[in-house]
Chains A and B, each alone.
Chain A
Amino acid sequence: DGGITQSPKYLFRKEGQNVTLSCEQNLNHDAMYWYRQDPGQGLRLIYYSQIVNDFQKGDIAEGYSVSREKKESFPLTVTSAQKNPTAFYLCASSMAGTGTYEQYFGPGTRLTVT
């Protein structure tokens, strides 16, 4: 089955530690995205990538880093510089091109930092 996987589903970390969230897709999509969702709020874009080896900052990139070494994979690192890292993190993918295409989401990772 084609889809997007994220792991782990739940993650607990101590303050001051970096943590990397995994996102893999086998939809053959060129574009991938990371969002953060806080309770009762909408999705906010952290980083996105339209093609391998290239990525751009979204609206709230501070304290996060990404890499895009393979088409299928777009891991997100939450660094100790991120002031409020506890949130629901969602990865998405879409076709890329001159238009804007619908995005498909993975199941998400709930990160709790104490």
Chain B
Amino acid sequence: RKEVEQDPGPFNVPEGATVAFNCTYSNSASQSFFWYRQDCRKEPKLLMSVYSSGNEDGRFTAQLNRASQYISLLIRDSKLSDSATYLCVVNGNTGRRALTFGSGTRLQVQP
């Protein structure tokens, strides 16, 4: 089983739609969770950290479910500029304090 698993997509949605991505992680001891965004042929950029109580940043909402070991990202009112690959990131191997990246979910927002 992979440490971090994501549906690769692509998710094709119209502008203005609400879209949700889920991600599961295998290490129940993980403490830090993030969502990154990666545009085609560019570096990943931090979108938001994910806190136990859930958090929101504008149109983006992240949730953490520790019991089921999954993280979600909800994007409301999708824009064309939201088209990218979204990476779920976890500190899977806590002994080495490094992050483990999922392979990403591709989102394509269409006009």
Q: Is A75 an interface residue (CB 8 A)?
A: no
Q: Measured between alpha carbons, how far is A63 from B103 in the docked complex, in Å? A: 23
Closest to B104 in A: A42
Asked whether B49 lies within 8 Å of A107 as measured between CB atoms, the reply is no
> Min CB distance, A31 to chain B, in Å?
8
Q: What class of interface size applies to chain B in its complex with A? A: 20 to 34
Asked whether B45 lies within 8 Å of A105 as measured between CB atoms, the reply is yes
Q: Is B18 an interface residue (CB 8 A)?
A: no
Q: Measured between alpha carbons, how far is A90 from B42 in the docked complex, in Å? A: 10
Interface 0/1 of A45-82, CB less than 8 Å to B: 10010100000101000000000000000000000000
Q: Measured between alpha carbons, how far is A6 from B91 in the docked complex, in Å? A: 24
By Cβ-Cβ distance, the 5 closest A-B pairs, closest first, are A100-B91, A42-B103, A105-B43, A100-B32, A43-B101
